[in-house]
Structure formats: structure tokens, C-alpha cells
């Protein structure tokens, strides 16, 4: 009989389902976690919510096979260490999404109609109708930053308010956005046009501090900003500086730490909630039910669809997954990080063809910061489909003798790119970009790529522009295409080239493409 440990407050449906299938279940949210682990070292499964699953926790359960996060985010679980200990980590994506989406609408209504202060005042005997003059959602423009599960549900839920809905998500296809009644646009347009802005993106190196003075200075007077995503995506000091000037409203339920104590945004938040987005009976029930069902499927049927830290299949060198990620990342930068992707086509040559599906998660992670590198291959296919992006894995012609290599094509409304790469002498190598062969580009560190009509003096202008920015060029390669009409300059630099520099070079040399790449 397998033992499942649930050291959290979770709907009883989880233990009811598990016990009905013959599992031994210990659910205890009151005992200190490490004390509980010490008393149940024979547990093979752990179901958690926001509890931190550290290496210490994993080591305390020598028989542990899997950890299930009853919810979507698993940033509190050390998935890399779990993988090293051969422990599978699963999540239950989508189970909590509706709760968060509804909280966004609740916050908007509460802020617009002064629900909280009006209630307090009325209870104290006041009758301040003039003071609490409110606004209506109807006819307003809503800006959604991130059209994942939650963002899409927000778009659906506000349909009844007759709002104009704008959205920013660089990977969502226009057709999918149209189906949701949403118009895709840029971040800058959303912050300039929306009356209400709601954030639904993860916090990572690309998004941390994304909402800064540059964006906030664009907002309308009286704009309402709602953050039910992660605290770190907003530059708190920039918001503090702009809020009074723009007479903004700010609602949040995310903080630097989910814990009691003073909150640094207390002086600027009009509504603060203790991370209540997924804190509904329905969400708790759905997440608990999903966690139990996935656990039974995992142990009884070997189903591992929702494992987010899968190991590699036998005989596949993990460096090829890294290659897929880096090729897709370069391709994404080439057509523009903010340009939507409509189609992905891949070719895997040699022995790689049998592992095609295992490259899809790294490709998705390169396309969007919303997707984790180690997620399940089937989740990658679902993710692309939900974003309205078609994906094709092409049959390969082995007579070309490309060896173990791969080609990834991306197409969007503003451009197309085809990139091929391989591993040579243990180095990840990009060998072709569009019609430019033998580019010999090692996708590592900082790079500046410029595609232009070949003519004398262009390279000098590019390198000169870098010198003006005090950027040192460590390596440069500039092959021409088959007809010798066009060239591509690939510069490896000692520090990242600012986007402004790439744009300046594009104008000065009339380049087709000019992009700065900082490889993670």
C-alpha cells in the first residue's frame, strides 16, 4: 500500500479518492513539516500547495517517487534537485485559473465602486455618496498582459461588460486572439490606451521589472493596474513615482513573500489581498481532485503527462535539447521577440528524428517565457495549439547527409526565418540562417545579427556603431547568400547591444534584419 503525505490544507476530495483506491493517506497541515516528514519516511508521494519543497524536504523522504503541486505554479519546488534524486514533479495546470480570473474582475469592480472604503464608512454611520462616486466597466478598454490560461479566461469573463479588450502576448496567433474577441497589440499601446491593465505573466529574467517608469508614464489619468501574477514584474519604486502624478489605482494580491507582516506596497496599493486568487472552494476542490487523479494515474497506469521535470529518454544527449532551445531562441529574436508566431516547422535529421517530440518543450520555452524548458512534450503541443500556433514536424531526406542536425522554421505576420544547427566538437553550432550557409555561429553569450544587401562599407558602419557604444567585438563572421547579393553579419560582443543600437544600425545600413541576442 502506497503512502501519500499531504502536509497542507487541501479539499478532502483528494484523500477520499486516494483512499477509495487503496492508498494510505496522511493529511496534516498543523504539524511542522520536517517533523511530519520524519514521522512518515516511508511516504512515496507528496501533495503540496504553496509549501516549499527543498532538497532537505526531498532527502527526508528516501522512498519519495513524486511530488504533486495542487496548482499550476511550481516555483516553490526544487525541480532540478528532484530530478537528480529521480523524483517526478507534477502540477495541475488550469485547476486554479478561473478563481484568479474572477478575482481580477472582483478587484476591478471593488476599486471602481469603492466597495471596501464605502463599506467601512457606512458601518461607522457615514453616508458619503458623493465621496464614493464610482465608475463603470462598460465601455472601458481592458489591457491583458499575457494570454495564458488565466488571461484568456479574463477575456471571456469580461465579455458581458461590453469592454474593448487589448492583449499583449508575443506568441499568441492573431486567429486565436480573434476567437477570444481580443485585439493583439504592443505593451506600449496597452499602457497608453487601456483604462484597466491586468498582468498575467510569470516572473523571470525577461519579465522582472518589466512594468517600469517607461511603461507607466504612458498610462491614462486614472488608469487601474491589477497584479495577480508575481510581485517582481512591477518596478515598485517606479510605480510609486508615477501613481500620484497619474492618479492611478493599484490592486494586488502578490508580494515579495507570501507571509504575514508589513507589505512594502501598502502606501501605494488601493486594494491588497493575501494572494487569494486561487483561494476558492471550487479551485481547491478542482486542484485536489486533479492531484489525486493524476497520482493514481501515475502509480497505477504509468501516466506521466503532467510531469514537469521529465528526464531524457535513453540514448538522447541532453545537449541536443539545449541546441533546439538555442536555435529556436535565435530564430525568435530574428523575426522579433514581440512579433506573434503563426507557425513552427521542424526537421530532425539522423538519429534525432526518433526523439522529435522531446525537442518541443525546449522550443516552446524559447518562444515564450510562459513555458518551462522541462515541461512535458505533450504539454508543449497543447500549449502551441492553445496559442493558435500550428506545428509541423517534417519528414526528413536522409540522402542530404546532414548527420545529427535540426532545422527550425518560424513564421509570423512580420517575417520568416529558417535556422539549422548541429553539435560539432562538443560545441552547439548554428550552421545556416535562411540562405546563408556556413555561418558557424556558436549561440552563446551576446550577439548582434544584421542581414543586409551586400555592398562595400556596410561592415565598417556596423562595427563603427558598436564602437560608439563602447561595445567590443570579440568575433565576426559575414557570409553571403548563394547569389552573392545579400550578406549577414554575426558579431559576438563583450556586452549586450541595446535594442536602440540595433534599430540605429538597421536604419543606417537599410538592413532587412538587425537584432540583438542575449543567450540565456
In this model, does residue 311 exceed pLDDT 70?
A: no
CA 398-400-402 angle, 5° bins: 85
What are 416's three cell numbers?
A: 520568416
Closest to 152 measured CA to CA, from 170, 171, 174, 179: 179
The bridge status of strand 24-27 relative to strand 3-6 is: parallel
In this model, does residue 325 exceed pLDDT 70?
A: yes
Q: Which band of pLDDT confidence, cut at 50, 70 and 90, is reported for residue 278? A: confident
- What gap in Å lies between CA 256 and CA 467, rounded to an integer? 40
In this model, does residue 432 exceed pLDDT 90?
A: yes
Q: What average pLDDT does the segment 147-167 reach?
A: 94
What sign has the CA pseudo-torsion 108, 111, 113, 119? positive
Model pLDDT for residues 216-225, shown as the tens digit of each residue = 999 999 999 9
What residue ranges in 228-342 does DSSP mark as E strands? 249-252, 271-272
Predicted pLDDT at 415: 84
Closest to 342 measured CA to CA, from 487, 176, 190: 176
Q: Which band of pLDDT confidence, cut at 50, 70 and 90, is reported for residue 108? A: very high
Model pLDDT for residues 352-410, shown as the tens digit of each residue = 999 998 999 999 999 987 787 767 787 888 889 888 899 999 988 878 778 899 999 99
- What gap in Å lies between CA 35 and CA 37, rounded to an integer? 5
Question: What's the mean per-residue pLDDT of the chain?
Answer: 92
Predicted pLDDT at 313: 73
Q: What average pLDDT does the segment 267-285 reach?
A: 94
Q: Which band of pLDDT confidence, cut at 50, 70 and 90, is reported for residue 314? A: low
What are 124's three cell numbers?
A: 461607522
Predicted pLDDT at 269: 97
Give the whole-number percent of the chain exceeding pLDDT 70.
Answer: 99
Tell me the longest C-alpha to C-alpha distance in the chain: 85
Predicted pLDDT at 340: 85
Structural domains of the chain sorted by starting position, each given as residue range(s) with its CATH number in brackets: 3-95+281-301 (3.40.50.720), 97-272 (3.40.50.720), 318-518 (3.30.70.260)
DSSP string, 438-503: EEEE---SEEEEEEEE--TTHHHHHHHHHHHTTPPEEEEE--B-TTSSEEEEEEEESSPPPHHHHH
Collect all residues with Cβ–Cβ distance below 8 Å to 9 and sequence separation of at least 6. Answer: 29, 49
- What gap in Å lies between CA 286 and CA 136, rounded to an integer? 32
In this model, does residue 233 exceed pLDDT 70?
A: yes
**Between 63 and 316, where is the model more confident?**
63
The bridge status of strand 405-412 relative to strand 390-394 is: unpaired
What are 399's three cell numbers?
A: 540522402
Predicted pLDDT at 173: 82
**Residue keyed to cell 501516466:** 303
Model pLDDT for residues 52-102, shown as the tens digit of each residue = 999 999 999 999 999 999 988 787 899 888 988 889 999 998 888 999 999
Chain centroid, CA 351 distance in Å: 30
Collect all residues with Cβ–Cβ distance below 8 Å to 91 and sequence separation of at least 6. Answer: 68, 69, 71, 72, 73, 74, 306, 308
Q: Model-level pTM?
A: 0.75
- What gap in Å lies between CA 395 and CA 406, rounded to an integer? 12
**Between 257 and 294, where is the model more confident?**
294
CA torsion 283-286-287-292 (nearest 10°) is 160
In this model, does residue 254 exceed pLDDT 70?
A: yes
Model pLDDT for residues 460-490, shown as the tens digit of each residue = 999 999 999 999 999 998 999 888 799 999 9
- What gap in Å lies between CA 466 and CA 461, rounded to an integer? 9
- What gap in Å lies between CA 355 and CA 316, rounded to an integer? 7
Amino acid at each position: 500500500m502506497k503512502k501519500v503525505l499531504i502536509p497542507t490544507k487541501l479539499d478532502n476530495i483528494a484523500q477520499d479518492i486516494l483512499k477509495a483506491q487503496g492508498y494510505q493517506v496522511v493529511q496534516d497541515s498543523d504539524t511542522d513539516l520536517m517533523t511530519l516528514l520524519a514521522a512518515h519516511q516511508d511516504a512515496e508521494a507528496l501533495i503540496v500547495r504553496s509549501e516549499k519543497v527543498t532538497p532537505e524536504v526531498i532527502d527526508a523522504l528516501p522512498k519519495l517517487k513524486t511530488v504533486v503541486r495542487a496548482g499550476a505554479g511550481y516555483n516553490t519546488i526544487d525541480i532540478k534537485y528532484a530530478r537528480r534524486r529521480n523524483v517526478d514533479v507534477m502540477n495541475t495546470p488550469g485547476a486554479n485559473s478561473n478563481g484568479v480570473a474572477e478575482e481580477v474582475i472582483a478587484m476591478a469592480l471593488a476599486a471602481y465602486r469603492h466597495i471596501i472604503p464605502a463599506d467601512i464608512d457606512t458601518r461607522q454611520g457615514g453616508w458619503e455618496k458623493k465621496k464614493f462616486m464610482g465608475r463603470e466597466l462598460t465601455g472601458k478598454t481592458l489591457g491583458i498582459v499575457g494570454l495564458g490560461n488565466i488571461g484568456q479566461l479574463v477575456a471571456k469573463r469580461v465579455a458581458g461588460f461590453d469592454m474593448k479588450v487589448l492583449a499583449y502576448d508575443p506568441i499568441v496567433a492573431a486567429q486565436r486572439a480573434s476567437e477570444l474577441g481580443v485585439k493583439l497589440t504592443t505593451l506600449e499601446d496597452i499602457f497608453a490606451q487601456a483604462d484597466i491593465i491586468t498582468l498575467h505573466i510569470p516572473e523571470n529574467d525577461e519579465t522582472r521589472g518589466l512594468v517600469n517608469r517607461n511603461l507607466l508614464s504612458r498610462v491614462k489619468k486614472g488608469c487601474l493596474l491589477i497584479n495577480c501574477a508575481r510581485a517582481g514584474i512591477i518596478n515598485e519604486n517606479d510605480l510609486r513615482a508615477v501613481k500620484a502624478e497619474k492618479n492611478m489605482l493599484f490592486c494586488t494580491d502578490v508580494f515579495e513573500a507570501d507571509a504575514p507582516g508589513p507589505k512594502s506596497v501598502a502606501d501605494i496599493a488601493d486594494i491588497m489581498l493575501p494572494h487569494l486568487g486561487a483561494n476558492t472552494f471550487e479551485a481547491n476542490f478542482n486542484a485536489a481532485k486533479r492531484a489525486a487523479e493524476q497520482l493514481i494515474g501515475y502509480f497505477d497506469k504509468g501516466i506521466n503527462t503532467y510531469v514537469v521535470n521529465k528526464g531524457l529518454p535513453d540514448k538522447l544527449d541532453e545537449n541536443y535539447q539545449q541546441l533546439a532551445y538555442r536555435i529556436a531562441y535565435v530564430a525568435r529574436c530574428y523575426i522579433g521577440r514581440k512579433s506573434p508566431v503563426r507557425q513552427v516547422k521542424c526537421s530532425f535529421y539522423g538519429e534525432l528524428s526518433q526523439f522529435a517530440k522531446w525537442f518541443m518543450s525546449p522550443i516552446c520555452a524559447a518562444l515564450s517565457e510562459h513555458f518551462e524548458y522541462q515541461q512535458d512534450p505533450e504539454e508543449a503541443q497543447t500549449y502551441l495549439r492553445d496559442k493558435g500556433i500550428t506545428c509541423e514536424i517534417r519528414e526528413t531526406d536522409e540522402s542530404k547527409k546532414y548527420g545529427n542536425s535540426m532545422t527550425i522554421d518560424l513564421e509570423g505576420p512580420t517575417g520568416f526565418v529558417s535556422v539549422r544547427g548541429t553539435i560539432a566538437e562538443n560545441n552547439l553550432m548554428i550552421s545556416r540562417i535562411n540562405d546563408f550557409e556556413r555561418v558557424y555561429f556558436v549561440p552563446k553569450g551576446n550577439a548582434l545579427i544584421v542581414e543586409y544587401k551586400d555592398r562595400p562599407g556596410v561592415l565598417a558602419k556596423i562595427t563603427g556603431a558598436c564602437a560608439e557604444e563602447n561595445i567590443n567585438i570579440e568575433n565576426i563572421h559575414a557570409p553571403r547568400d548563394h547569389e552573392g547579393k545579400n550578406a549577414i553579419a554575426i558579431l559576438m560582443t563583450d556586452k549586450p547591444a541595446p535594442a536602440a543600437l540595433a534599430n540605429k544600425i538597421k536604419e543606417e545600413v537599410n538592413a532587412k534584419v538587425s537584432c540583438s541576442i542575449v543567450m540565456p
